Amino acid sequence: MNTINLTLEVWRQSGPAADGGFVTYEANDVAEDMSFLEMLDLVNEQLIATGEEPIEFESDCREGICGTCGVMINGKAHGPEKATATCQLHMRKFDDGDHIVVEPWRATSFPIIKDLAVDRSPLDDIVTAGGFIGVNTGSAPDANLIPVPKETADAAFDAAACIGCGACVAACPNSAAQLFTSAKIQHLNLLPQGQAERWKRTEAMVETMEQFFGSCTNHGECTEACPKEIPLDFIAYTNRDYVKSKIKNRKLAGQS
């Protein structure tokens, strides 16, 4: 088993209101097959052994789908691997002697809870504003009643693949949540089932987003950071839907 030695600079902050700062730790004998989070587990074991409080960070499924984990690693959201969440980043991507800076996601609306853990609940607020199709349990028609062209279903899926990790906001210099919001909106707006609430949904979700996050300047950092590589095009579709919605006569919405 190959092992490497690393120097970590980890952001430590005891609570939301406390001052934070970087603390340097030596991580020795890190197996290359470990994931980045297992490396942090190992550091934590050592910290506990020496009586220092372990580093708080969030993770759950550790297979890149739940979206719980995520930190800035050397200035990149989820680290250097493209299309990879932090839990799926393995230490063999680093070299012996590397210096790694680990910092929490940052945005005004992602306040730090402790160390590397942040509160991402505004993303849920955006979904609450309209990220659903209003169908009560039991009232659905047969699933094959409405054919959905395969291309449409695939495009909707590309948007629906968003795992809600917040890396897009973290990577954006403006702390904009456009990619997350657009993925959520377009997943539903592209499908025939989502048409009834399309305009209402678009306006409500965009306007909720804007209460919490910055403005998109089309830099594209979000897509680069996204573990699911959600394309920027969804942002464009959302912009178009939003302006259309403002201009449209809703009573004629059925005609588009």
Partner 1 sequence: MIGSLDPRVPDGPVADKWTNHKFDMKLVNPANKRKFEVIVVGTGLAGASAAASLGELGYRVKALTYHDSPRRAHSISAQGGINAAKNYQNDGDSVFRLFYDTVKGGDYRSREANVYRLAEASVDIIDQAVAQGVPFAREYGGLLDNRSFGGAQVSRTFYARGQTGQQLLLGAYSALMRQVAAGTVDLLTRTEMLDLVVEDGRAVGIVTRDLLTGEIASHSAHAVVLATGGYGNVYYLSTNAMACNVTAAWRAHRRGALFANPCYTQIHPTCIPASDEFQSKLTLMSESLRNDGRIWVPRDPDETRMAKDIPEAERYYFLEEKYPAFGNLVPRDVASRNAKTVVDQGLGVGPLKNGVYLDFAVARERDGVESIRAKYGNLFDMYERITGEDPYERPMRIYPAIHYTMGGLWVDYDLMSNVPGLFVLGEANFSDHGANRLGASALMQGLADGYFVLPYTIGNYLAPLLGTNPLPTDHESFRAVNAEVAERTRHWLEIKGTRSVDWFHRELGKICWDNIGMARNSAGLEKALSEIPALREEFHADVRILGGDEGLNTSLEKAGRVSDFFELAELMARDALTREESCGGHFREESQTDEGEALRDDDNFAHSAAWEWTGSDTEPIRHTEALEFENVALTQRSYK
Partner 2 sequence: MATTMSRPKPEPISKPPRQLPFPLSLYQTAVGKKWVMALTGIGLLGFVLAHMIGNLHLYEGPVELREYAETLRDIGTEVIPRTWFLWGFRLGLIAMFALHIHAAYTLKAMSVKANPSSSVLDGTKKYEGGQDFIAVNFAGRTMVASGTIVGLFIVYHLADLTWGVLPWVDYERGDPYHNVVSSLENWPVALLYIVANILLAMHIFHGTWSLFQSLGINNPRYNGARRAFAGSIAAVILIGNLSFPILVQAGLVDEDNCTAPCGITGEEVEAEEAGQ
Q: How many CB atoms lie within 10 A of CB 203?
A: 17
Binding mask 142-161 for partner 2 (x = CB under 8 A): --------------------
The reply on whether position 231 binds partner 2 by CB under 8 A is yes
Distance CA 185, CA 199 (A): 10
Binding partner of residue 225 among partner 1, partner 2, none, CB cut-off 5 to 8 Å per kind: partner 2
Q: Which of 138, 249, 250, 251 binds partner 1 (CB under 8 A)?
A: 138
| Cα–Cα distance measured from residue 232 to residue 239, given in angstroms and rounded to the nearest whole number | 11
11 sits in which H/E element:
strand 3-12
DSSP state of 90: B
At which residue do the structure tokens 């430590």 appear?
12
Total chain residues near partner 2 (CB under 8 A): 55
Task: Rule CB under 8 A: say whether 137 interacts with partner 1.
Answer: yes
Closer to partner 1 by Cβ: residue 14 or 215:
14
Query: Which of residues 65 and 232 has its CB atom nearest to partner 2 in the complex?
Result: 232
Distance (Å, rounded) from C-alpha 242 to C-alpha 34?
Answer: 44
Among 117, 185, 216, 230, binds partner 1 (CB under 8 A): 117
Paired with 95 in beta bridges are none
Through-space distance between the first and last CA atoms of the chain, rounded to whole angstroms: 61
Sign of the Cα torsion 225, 227, 231, 235 reads negative
Between residues 164 and 220, which has the closer beta carbon with respect to partner 2?
220
Q: Residue 42 Cβ, how far from partner 1 at the closest point, in Å?
A: 5
Distance CA 197, CA 4 (A): 53
Q: Is 223 in the site for partner 2 (CB under 8 A)?
A: yes
Residues that bind partner 2 (CB under 8 A): 9, 11, 16, 22, 72, 74-76, 101, 103, 106-111, 119, 121-122, 171, 173-176, 206-207, 210-221, 223-225, 231-233, 235-243, 246-247
